[in-house]
Structure 1
Amino acid sequence: MTKIITQQAGRNRRLRSAIAVGLALTVASVTACGQGPAASEQVNASDDGPAFPFLDAGDGVAIRDGDDWSLPADAGVAANSGFFSEEASPSDHVYTRSVDVSWGQIQPEPGALDRESSGTAQDMSFEPLDEQLEGPDTFWMRVFASGEEWAPQWVVDDCGVSTYGPDYDGQRHLPIWNECVWGHLMDTYQTLFIDSGLADDERLTFVYVPGAFTWAEFDYEMITAAVDAGDLDLETYLSWYGHAWTDLADMFGDNANKLVFTGEDYPWGPFGTDDDLLAKQAVDAGLGIRTGITELSNFHLSEAPAYGSHILPNGHMSLDDTLPVHDGSRIVATENECYNECGYETDDPYYAVRQSNLKALQLQTNWIYVVPEPSYFAEYPKLWDWVRLSMGHTAQNSPDAWAALRDAEDTYWAGDETGPFNGEWQTRPWVRNLERWLVQVDKPGSVAHRSDADVHTEVFEPDNGTAHEGLVTDAANGDTGFVFELDARFAAASSESSSPVVKVTYLDSGSGAFTVDVGDWSSPDIERTGDGQWKTATIALPDDAFSDDDTTFRVSLGDGADDLTVRFVRVVKA
């Protein structure tokens, strides 16, 4: 296939750790976009439960302005989930800090580790290893290995290798695929993590691997440089790749779930289709997976086999959460802090933060890298609190299920010749919705249509395409509502534990009412005022709303009502 070659490989995280180190981690209470907390509604932020009260259905229906991210008081943090950063910030629920070392810092000479020397990489300074490991708090790790200034000189001399580059930060890198270089690196990993017992340390949450290239993220820029220089071919690369991740998984044994591969499906590499699914190969070897670019929420990650996410013929995405990578023991991570940092800029940060987090949750990530200030924790605390309490949950134990209704352009797949679809993707390159255990289903009389009420174009950059937020009815042509199908596992858990509510975020334009209908039951009318504002209606459902045979419900226009635009629908175990 013909690749769409961009600078993506080099922009994943241009300044990530630089801004993380340079910015303060304290936040203040700020009201913006309806997300800031009033003093009367803020709950103790040190608690693991919701920091804000649940907005219930009142006497059956309650309507409030804006988005509604509230969760019931018994919603809790999922096991093996959380925010991570360079520094801990407990007041922001960021409990997991980084421990970073360079290869040359901890093994300047062959043999035993140097645990008392400081180091540098990517213009960051690292304290000695033992100093960084002090204290009871949890941490994640990076070994900056491949950079010419990170790696020990004795490795270069012993292996007789050249370096490649410069990368986008002006660095040159060792060929990590060289069997001699890789062997020495694995010896260092053995000494650092296994012989010292660090892999068994309960404080160690996860390790980014393999430690290459820029920012210790496995982009293909240097691999391409080696191919262009005539020093690397596909056979040699795949020979190394075929054992690299099993080397690590076998070494870590029962702790292999702490390993996080930092590459990606469909990389910007030199080998055409032969490198398309190599990230999945790493996951199949037992590793976790991480992406660094969900800020570009429409681009490239719709078809992501390593995460189990696939584009269906009708343009919806499905995600197979029965895959081992989602078994709850591994790390599925992303990084959401580059909104008005890292070379990005937006005048609508709330939209960008919201969409990147919806994308992260659609991929069913359980860990998210944040830096509270550039991640807009102070400005949008309700949104981030919802994310904290959502990630890592399963269909059976999640407090909610949801569908973000939209049509968005994934420009990575814009060429008809690209990808695995063979003409099967009927709406290409338009992707319908972001869905998590709740699917919007087109049926006769309930076909959803693209809305022009809230259109965003090229947020951050052209690759992010155009997104139409919200879908609309077409009553004149017989489409008078939206049908939703709830995951049977979520529905069963909901019926066992509580009475569900439905939250519908809609544009209050036009006139006329709508209802939520389940079987023969209909909610009270939800009247529109026509003031043009986005609002969320919360509707209490009957106790027996869903059965084993039917988990559907409908948002229906009333007789004579104008068309309705809906942007977000949530089912909450209330």
Structure 2
Amino acid sequence: MAAAAAVLALAGCTVSAPEPLPTAGGDGIDLDVGPRTSFVDAGPSGVTVADGDDWSLPGWVRPAPNSGYFSEEADASELVAVRSVDLSWRQLRPTAEKRIDRTSAGDAQGMSFDALDAQLRQPGDFWMRIFASGEDWAPAWVAEECGVSSYGPDYDGQRHLPIWNECVWGHLMDTYRMLFVDLGLASDPRLRFVYVPGAFTWAEYDYEMVTAAADAGELDEKSYLAWYGHAWSDLVAIFGEHADKLVFTGEDYPWGPFGAADDLLARQAVDAGMGIRTGITELSNFHLSEAPAYGSHVQPDGHMTVDESLPIHSGRYVVATENECFTDCGYQTDDVYYAVRQANLKALQLRVNWMYVVPGPSYMAEYPEQWDWLRLSLGQRADTSADAWAAFRDAEDSYWADPESGPFDDPASWPDRPWVRNLERWLVQVDEPGSVAHRTDADVHEHVFEEDNGVAHEGLSTDVAAGDTGFALDVDPRFAAAASGRVVLKVTFLDAGSGAFAIDTGAGSSAAVERTGSGAWRTATIALPDGALAASAGASARLRISLASGADDLVVRFARLVRVTG
């Protein structure tokens, strides 16, 4: 009888497994869609010239795996198929009881959130934010139990708990574990990624609150770095094989209070085994030239290179940005197309594979060709991309004007600091005798959005009088090896002056492009000879945009090498 009673007692204490989370089917948005505009080819003469920029791609191109647009809501017309699931920590854990509340609504950042189960019942893939740090986002019992007070207000008027406090962090990790492991949400194939750690304003990990705590004398470098040293490995351990769904929302060189000690902490988070996101590529000239978490580094000649051997660029992880604040979020510009174009080029220079958009404020309907090109470019590698390109420019990254900022103490490490040469992806403009590119005032943009965004001189020029009669271009060997079929070079140039130009290759020269003196920016699509991308031993394939004898100087703004056949 005693044994039977014990069994019954144990049975009465058994904790039943939680009810499975709701599931739903797809949203019906077909993403296996090629270019939605016709490709502009070179034509029978070997040259086609059209006004303006040309973003067209051949019909064989398809989106890369693990890439696309995400937003608050799906939008079939713009091929945005990943919606948000937003929750507050307080909504999920209103009490200290060890369970997730799946039926209560929540709010944060001026937004209202449906209950967890209600959001998961909606169809389609999703990404997530858990708004955790705000005084009104976190469970009230956490601050009481941990004996902490808040810091702030932030620039949106909110106060935040110190998530670096080990007690606060421990409770937050318990919540992540219960939600993503115990309830199995991390393994849901519809979950594409999660912004972490859920702090601070807009759940974006800036250093405003960290600095506030340090200034108050309540946080020192040693304590902060001790917490930081395990925080991201904590999250990676919780998510296990699904850790590639974690996306850190901070950045390197973050205006923190600890000098060089906090310069490379975003890279440290990435090295722990998670993805990375920035939210400010709209300021396309500012701060992100030297971005170690993305493998982007400024070279002594001012060009930026990206280390694509890093795990972050393996195709497994999320490398994200957000381009929606062109006439929103407190920003304004009278040249929206320019701002959109440059923000998207900057994103691709960083090798981004996911882009947050809001179709209206992102101006997707107004500039469909540009956004369609971006959709098909996100996440591509040198050996899968349909194109390789270089935007010819000199632009000022004013963040690096401070002589004490970053890894450039030696003046020889970046002699023209803070001027950055070009935005490039697998096609590099090379200065060499006879082909030195010169800054021009043909298309100057000053302080777009704000002073920090510096001055940009779009387009570079030859200087015939000085003997510089063309532009040399090196082609990434991986792209060249994949380009086994027909290729064209698209050159966006200022149609001023007179005289022709052509493309010289190791296999011969292209047909000539004649200028008409219209004064407009035009794009020439130029057929290259067979074998044009064959490399000589130990060298990259080399192209040269060459002026004809007696021609006036030429200003080029963009060069894009396209594989016409896949």
**Scaled by the length of structure 2, what TM-score is found?**
0.92
Q: Shift of residue 410 of structure 1? A: 0.3
- In the other structure, the counterpart of 1:54 is 39
Q: Shift of residue 62 of structure 1? A: 0.6
- In the other structure, the counterpart of 1:490 is 479
The CA deviation string for residues 537-573 of structure 1, in whole angstroms up to 9 with x for no partner, is 0111122112242401000000110000000000000
Q: Is residue 63 of structure 2 the alignment partner of residue 77 of structure 1?
A: yes
Q: Shift of residue 388 of structure 1? A: 0.1
Q: How does 1:414-433 map to 2 (within 5 A)?
A: 414-421=401-408, 422-423=410-411, 424-433=413-422
Cα 1:47–1:236 change in 2 (3 A) is closer
Letter in 1 for 2:486: S
Residue of structure 2 aligned with 1:385, choices 354, 359, 372? 372
Residue of structure 1 aligned with 2:453, choices 461, 464, 468? 464
Among all aligned residue pairs of Structure 1 and Structure 2, give the percentage whose two residues are the same amino acid. Answer: 68
Distance 2:142 2:403 in 1: 45
Distance 1:199 1:82 in 2: 20
Distance 2:532 2:500 in 1: 22
Q: How does 1:280-319 map to 2 (within 5 A)?
A: 280-319=267-306
- In the other structure, the counterpart of 1:124 is 111
Q: How does 1:340-379 map to 2 (within 5 A)?
A: 340-379=327-366
Cα 1:45–1:288 change in 2 (3 A) is closer
Letter in 2 for 1:435: E
Q: After the TM superposition, which of the residue ranges 549-558 and 122-131 deviates more from structure 2? A: 549-558
Q: Shift of residue 47 of structure 1? A: 5.8
Residue of structure 1 aligned with 2:76, choices 80, 84, 90? 90
Distance 2:281 2:78 in 1: 21
Q: Shift of residue 268 of structure 1? A: 1.1
> Which structure exhibits the higher relative contact order, with contacts defined as CA atoms closer than 8 Å and separated by 6 or more residues?
1
Q: Shift of residue 46 of structure 1? A: 7.2
Distance 2:30 2:334 in 1: 29
Letter in 1 for 2:554: L
Q: Is residue 208 of structure 2 the alignment partner of residue 218 of structure 1?
A: no
SS class of match (1:205): strand
Q: Shift of residue 520 of structure 1? A: 5.0
Structure 2 unaligned blocks of 5 or more? 1-28
Superposed CA RMSD: 1.1
SS class of match (2:130): strand
Distance 1:458 1:167 in 2: 25
Distance 1:502 1:45 in 2: 31
* Contact 1:45–1:51, Cα closer than 8 Å, also in 2: no
Aligned residue-pair number: 529
SS class of match (2:483): helix
Q: Is residue 260 of structure 2 the alignment partner of residue 273 of structure 1?
A: yes
Residue of structure 2 aligned with 1:144, choices 109, 131, 145? 131
Distance 1:211 1:419 in 2: 27
- In the other structure, the counterpart of 1:244 is 231
Distance 1:372 1:91 in 2: 9
SS class of match (1:241): helix
Letter in 2 for 1:426: P
Q: Is residue 432 of structure 2 the alignment partner of residue 443 of structure 1?
A: yes
Distance 1:53 1:245 in 2: 45
Q: Shift of residue 426 of structure 1? A: 1.4
Q: Is residue 491 of structure 2 the alignment partner of residue 501 of structure 1?
A: no
Distance 2:402 2:195 in 1: 33
The CA deviation string for residues 37-80 of structure 1, in whole angstroms up to 9 with x for no partner, is xxxxxxx9976110011100001111011000000000000000
Distance 2:222 2:553 in 1: 58
Letter in 2 for 1:457: E
Distance 1:548 1:493 in 2: 13
Residue of structure 2 aligned with 1:168, choices 132, 145, 155? 155
The CA deviation string for residues 62-112 of structure 1, in whole angstroms up to 9 with x for no partner, is 101100000000000000000000000011010000000000001101211
Moved beyond 4 Å, runs of 4+? 44-47
Q: Is residue 561 of structure 2 the alignment partner of residue 571 of structure 1?
A: yes
Q: Shift of residue 417 of structure 1? A: 2.7
The CA deviation string for residues 242-284 of structure 1, in whole angstroms up to 9 with x for no partner, is 0000000111111100000000000011001110000000000
Distance 1:472 1:72 in 2: 29
Distance 1:526 1:172 in 2: 61
Letter in 1 for 2:329: C
Q: Shift of residue 416 of structure 1? A: 2.3
Structure 1 unaligned blocks of 5 or more? 1-43
- In the other structure, the counterpart of 1:401 is 388
Q: Shift of residue 135 of structure 1? A: 3.2
* Contact 1:45–1:92, Cα closer than 8 Å, also in 2: no
Letter in 2 for 1:560: G
Distance 1:343 1:153 in 2: 32
* Contact 1:458–1:466, Cα closer than 8 Å, also in 2: yes
Letter in 1 for 2:553: D
**Scaled by the length of structure 1, what TM-score is found?**
0.91
Q: After the TM superposition, which of the residue ranges 152-161 and 350-359 deviates more from structure 2? A: 152-161
* Contact 2:510–2:529, Cα closer than 8 Å, also in 1: no
Distance 1:544 1:572 in 2: 14
Residue of structure 2 aligned with 1:543, choices 530, 533, 539? 530
Q: Is residue 322 of structure 2 the alignment partner of residue 335 of structure 1?
A: yes
Letter in 1 for 2:245: K
Letter in 1 for 2:370: L
